[in-house]
Chains A and B, each alone.
Chain A
Amino acid sequence: MSHRDLDAYLIRDEPYYLPIGEEIELFEAAYAARLPVMLKGPTGCGKTRFVQYMAWRLSRPLVIVACNEELSASDLLGRYLLEGGETRWQDGPLAIAARLGGLCYLDEVVEARQDTLVVIHPLTDDRRLLSLPSRSEAFQARADFSLIVSHNPGYQSALKELKPSTKQRFGAIDFGYPERAREIEILCHETAVSRELAERLVSIAEAGRRLKGHGLDEGISTRMLVHAGTLIRHGIGPEAACQMALVQPLTDDPELVLALSASVRVCL
């Protein structure tokens, strides 16, 4: 693998990340021990941003895979491609990360089929071995390779859960939405809205989060707040921006739309 490949996955500029607890120390300790890490938390709370930040901080290339039901083992490991009548092996993202010694981040890992995920098992124990059956090859991951997965326990489903044999290979860090003061700070930084407006937007998010389990599967995320702040910065009125970024994407239920819209009005 050439340096050019490595460069493609390196994060040059420091991503903005405001710690919400001890997650940086925990992650660094886990990485030092090459312990795979699972990030748990609701959607839009900053898990992916955290991984980007840690990849930058550790100066390691980062390969991100968004998992879905169609994801196959070949999608992770690699496959032969045809090029001008000849075949060429193309490493999949997991193989790339293992060869480059980077961080491989499997986002929403629970969405992938359980049989697909079994390919990570030999890579996540002390063998650190990646097997490519199509190529009749097995190799040991570079010493600085590490695997990170994320999942959202909020989508509670008895049938959509990681196998214990997969889960128990990871150390886990539990993420939640940032506490109020930090979320305001994040919003001010990311969207450049005034502090007063950021406070009001966070109040709306807090109101929306109280409806989790009362009609909403998930509350208003920090990411949604950033969207709202960005729209406001682009000249949209706060109420319209909140409708577009916070209320309408969250639900189609008329009762919930009414409740959220009214909450937006009284918070602004």
Chain B
Amino acid sequence: MSSPAASRTTGSTAGLGTFIRALWGADVSVEPLPNLAGAEVDAVDRRPRFAGSRIWVPSEPLPGSPRTYSEYLLAAVAHAAAHVYFGGLRFEVKGLKPPQIAIISLLEDARVERLAAARYPGLTRLWTPFHTARSDGAKTSQALLARLARALHDGRYADEDAWVAKARAHFDDPRFDWRDSSCLRELGGALGNDLGQMRAQFEAKNYAVMPIYRDDNFGLWQSKSAEDAAATEADMARGSDLDQADVDSDRDKERPAAGVPRPHMTCERAPSLRSGAASRCEVVGEPPKNHSDALSPTRYPEWDYVIARERDEFCSLRERGLELGDTERLDDALAGYRPARQRLGRFARRLADRRAVHIRRLLDGDRLDLASAVENLVAQSTGTFPEQRVYRRVRVQQEPPVLLLLIDLSESLNRAARAHGTTLLELARNASVLLAGSLPSAAPDLAIHGFSSNGRHDVGYYRFKDFGEPYDALVHSRLAGMKASFSTRFGPALRHAGRVLHQRSARRKLLLLVTDGEPSDVDVYDPNYLVLDAKRATNQNRARGVQSFCIGLDSSAETSVTRIFGTGNWVMLEHLRRLPECLCEVYLRLSA
């Protein structure tokens, strides 16, 4: 990620996922294909690919593209998204020959494009320039397929080839329901047979989908694996980490054609996508090595709603030391957030702007406070005692709010964040680093703490960054070493964080919790118990002047988060990669 090429690539796909969300309301991630520039793969054969809600696009312009790279990316992503939105069940490869597979794929391309263009007519203008096949071209199978693609795309394109004309007439026949993808198999099979009889040899190995913005069709076909979608997705995720040896090894076996999925294609699953399967309460791993370093426990009460009273000194919370982590790895991960950093920089400036306050009715100041001056004159005229405080001054607010960012570090945070190739823990960690690193002026008033629990006797509390501490290399290392394990008992952690905040002298004290779910612990079986205790802890904090807010990472916990923090005091993040910005936005708003 840190290489200049990678940064450029990341930048080029930026905004494309947002574009798709704007069109179809669906969250897809758009990522660059693994860069195989050094391998013996012809760039001309490279095509976009999609699986599930992920789209991969070539990381550099393809040779011979009739439009700019950015135009190409828009066309490619819009096409793949049409598959994602309008695609039905994957086609079965069984019983089909390579040319038939290629033709059915082509028909499916035309089908989804027509459906998409019916909704957004301008999509056609995005795609048309890439249809460069000519009616007077060669009659190879590759050329004929490209001509058919153009014929189905562009009603004004004239092609007198009998095979193309037949396919087009059939597809456009009002009796043929092209909107139903299940009809395409029969038509594609027949056209494939016709192509075979024309002796236009189909070279599956050298076939590349045309036009070049269209995907390689792998996302349309079933693989051997039962969970094919996930398998393909995992395969691509692994592909993004392919090294040269992997590529060469694959090529030694057989180079896959860009457009014809091999029958019974198998995909290896990426182990990383299977992690995080543990349930929220599952206790995984040993207690932290530094357990013996723990400070003496602080005991907190817990609210038992069944008996409607607090159980005194019921939970034990220990502040624990922290292991330092690998900052290089963290820095690599942060390299992908360059656009987010820029946005955070703007947030920071807005924050500074917002702190300008007008102080009125001063005895001495920069400007006359007109309202007070008029009142003064009125008082003089009416014979009452005139107020001498007639000046005002603008100054930067001296007392910004203090914010304690509290991160739920339970085992479930180790789950993979779907479609982001990372874990929730890493997202939360990166967001904390970006927040603290982007707001240096706010650093003294910002603390980053975390917690996890293993039953009521063992609630762990970690201070990655404390109030008054600058954001320096040590804090950076502590955050790099952030780990998640055990369960989620909100109450003691909220009470402890509230106590820490209460000791600050600021006028406004904010507690911001980042969590991926509802509270749970190994010794509690009643789902309401910990929720109501957390609600009580939040109310107690509020009574002490600590305002609480929650950023949720899992919408299934919406109900419990609402119960704990109250309406308007939480936000549920739909697009997890936006966590850093969301964190800063919430901070900005709470600071306003």
Taking beta carbons and an 8 Å cutoff, which residues of A are in contact with B?
A: 70, 72, 74, 79-82, 85-87, 155-161, 200, 203, 207-208, 210-211, 213-215, 252-260, 262-263, 265-268
| B59 contacts partner chain A, Cβ-Cβ < 8 Å | no
Beyond A157-B592, A158-B590, A262-B22: 18 further Cβ-contacts under 8 Å? Answer: A70-B358, A80-B375, A82-B381, A85-B381, A158-B569, A200-B121, A210-B22, A211-B22, A215-B581, A255-B15, A255-B18, A255-B339, A256-B15, A258-B14, A258-B16, A259-B22, A266-B78, A266-B120
Interface string of B373-390 (1 = CB under 8 A from A): 011011001100000000
Docked CA distance A72–B346 (Å): 31
Which of A207, A214, A254 is the one whose CB lies under 8 Å from B578? A214
Docked CA distance A230–B169 (Å): 44
**Known interface pairs A259-B19, A265-B122. Does A156 touch B377 (Cβ–Cβ under 8 Å)?**
no
Docked CA distance A156–B549 (Å): 12
Contact B126 A265 (CB under 8 A): yes
Interface string of B98-120 (1 = CB under 8 A from A): 00000000000000000000011
Contact A156 B381 (CB under 8 A): no
Which of B22, B25, B578 is the one whose CB lies under 8 Å from A260? B22
Docked CA distance A267–B118 (Å): 10
Contact B25 A254 (CB under 8 A): no
- Among residues 348 to 401 in chain B, which have CB atoms less than 8 Å away from a CB atom of chain A? 358, 371, 374-375, 377-378, 381-382
CB distance from B369 to the nearest CB of A (A): 11
Query: In terms of DSSP, what is the predominant structure of the interface of chain A?
Result: mixed
| Complex contacts, A82 vs chain B, CB 8 Å | 374, 377-378, 381
| Complex contacts, B25 vs chain A, CB 8 Å | 210
Contact B568 A267 (CB under 8 A): no
| Complex contacts, B78 vs chain A, CB 8 Å | 266
| Complex contacts, A207 vs chain B, CB 8 Å | 22-23
**Range of interface residues on B (Cβ < 8 Å):** 35 or more
| Complex contacts, A72 vs chain B, CB 8 Å | 371
Contact A214 B18 (CB under 8 A): yes
Interface string of B12-31 (1 = CB under 8 A from A): 00111011011111000000
| B575 contacts partner chain A, Cβ-Cβ < 8 Å | yes
Contact B15 A254 (CB under 8 A): yes
Interface string of B546-590 (1 = CB under 8 A from A): 010100000000000000000011010011001001000000011
- 23 CB < 8 A contacts A-B: A79-B375, A82-B377, A156-B571, A157-B589, A157-B590, A158-B589, A159-B508, A208-B22, A211-B18, A213-B574, A215-B581, A252-B346, A254-B14, A255-B14, A255-B15, A255-B339, A257-B15, A258-B14, A258-B18, A262-B19, A266-B122, A266-B123, A267-B121
Contact B592 A214 (CB under 8 A): no
Which of B14, B24, B123, B568 is the one whose CB lies under 8 Å from A161? B568
| B343 contacts partner chain A, Cβ-Cβ < 8 Å | yes
- Among residues 1 to 42 in chain B, which have CB atoms less than 8 Å away from a CB atom of chain A? 14-16, 18-19, 21-25
| Complex contacts, A157 vs chain B, CB 8 Å | 589-590, 592
Contact B378 A87 (CB under 8 A): yes
Docked CA distance A203–B18 (Å): 16
| B289 contacts partner chain A, Cβ-Cβ < 8 Å | no
Docked CA distance A87–B23 (Å): 61
Contact A156 B578 (CB under 8 A): no
| Complex contacts, A210 vs chain B, CB 8 Å | 21-25
Greatest chain A CB density within 10 A among B22, B121, B126 is at: B22
| Complex contacts, A74 vs chain B, CB 8 Å | 371
| Complex contacts, A258 vs chain B, CB 8 Å | 14-16, 18-19
Contact A79 B19 (CB under 8 A): no
| B74 contacts partner chain A, Cβ-Cβ < 8 Å | yes
| B125 contacts partner chain A, Cβ-Cβ < 8 Å | yes
Q: Which residue of B lies closest to A200 (CB)?
A: B121
Greatest chain A CB density within 10 A among B122, B377, B569, B575 is at: B122
| Complex contacts, A262 vs chain B, CB 8 Å | 15, 19, 22, 74
Docked CA distance A74–B578 (Å): 43
Docked CA distance A210–B119 (Å): 15
Greatest chain A CB density within 10 A among B18, B346, B575 is at: B18
| Complex contacts, B126 vs chain A, CB 8 Å | 265-266
Docked CA distance A156–B572 (Å): 12
Interface string of B119-152 (1 = CB under 8 A from A): 1111101100000000000000000000000000
| Complex contacts, B569 vs chain A, CB 8 Å | 158
Contact B122 A267 (CB under 8 A): yes
CB distance from A142 to the nearest CB of B (A): 28
Query: In terms of DSSP, what is the predominant structure of the interface of chain B?
Result: helix
Q: Which residue of A lies closest to B122 (CB)?
A: A266
| Complex contacts, A80 vs chain B, CB 8 Å | 374-375, 378, 382
Docked CA distance A70–B578 (Å): 33
Docked CA distance A79–B125 (Å): 62
Docked CA distance A230–B126 (Å): 27
Greatest chain B CB density within 10 A among A213, A215, A257 is at: A215
Q: Which residue of B lies closest to A217 (CB)?
A: B585
Contact A259 B18 (CB under 8 A): yes
Docked CA distance A156–B592 (Å): 12
| Complex contacts, A253 vs chain B, CB 8 Å | 343
Contact B15 A203 (CB under 8 A): no
Docked CA distance A157–B586 (Å): 8
Greatest chain B CB density within 10 A among A155, A210, A255, A267 is at: A255
Greatest chain A CB density within 10 A among B375, B378, B381 is at: B378
**Known interface pairs A82-B378, A87-B378, A207-B22. Does A214 touch B74 (Cβ–Cβ under 8 Å)?**
no
CB distance from B11 to the nearest CB of A (A): 9
Docked CA distance A150–B434 (Å): 36
Q: Which residue of A lies closest to B24 (CB)?
A: A210
| Complex contacts, B120 vs chain A, CB 8 Å | 203, 266-267
CB distance from A88 to the nearest CB of B (A): 9
Interface string of B397-410 (1 = CB under 8 A from A): 00000000000000
| Complex contacts, B343 vs chain A, CB 8 Å | 253
CB distance from B372 to the nearest CB of A (A): 11
Docked CA distance A245–B343 (Å): 22
Which of A85, A203, A211 is the one whose CB lies under 8 Å from B21? A211
Docked CA distance A24–B374 (Å): 43
Q: Which residue of B lies closest to A264 (CB)?
A: B122
Contact A156 B18 (CB under 8 A): no
CB distance from B12 to the nearest CB of A (A): 10
CB distance from B68 to the nearest CB of A (A): 13
| Complex contacts, A263 vs chain B, CB 8 Å | 19, 22-23
Docked CA distance A118–B574 (Å): 38
Docked CA distance A253–B590 (Å): 21
CB distance from A33 to the nearest CB of B (A): 27
Greatest chain B CB density within 10 A among A82, A207, A211, A266 is at: A266
CB distance from A23 to the nearest CB of B (A): 23
| Complex contacts, B574 vs chain A, CB 8 Å | 213-214
Which of B14, B15, B21, B23 is the one whose CB lies under 8 Å from A266? B23
| Complex contacts, B339 vs chain A, CB 8 Å | 254-255
| Complex contacts, A257 vs chain B, CB 8 Å | 15
**Known interface pairs A255-B15, A258-B14, A263-B19. Does A160 touch B592 (Cβ–Cβ under 8 Å)?**
yes
Contact A87 B122 (CB under 8 A): no
Docked CA distance A9–B144 (Å): 73
CB distance from A234 to the nearest CB of B (A): 22
| Complex contacts, B547 vs chain A, CB 8 Å | 158-159
| Complex contacts, B508 vs chain A, CB 8 Å | 159
Q: Which residue of B lies closest to A80 (CB)?
A: B378
Docked CA distance A214–B358 (Å): 33
CB distance from A229 to the nearest CB of B (A): 18
| Complex contacts, B381 vs chain A, CB 8 Å | 82, 85-87
Q: Which residue of B lies closest to A256 (CB)?
A: B18
CB distance from B382 to the nearest CB of A (A): 6
CB distance from A98 to the nearest CB of B (A): 22
Which of A160, A215, A265 is the one whose CB lies under 8 Å from B18? A215
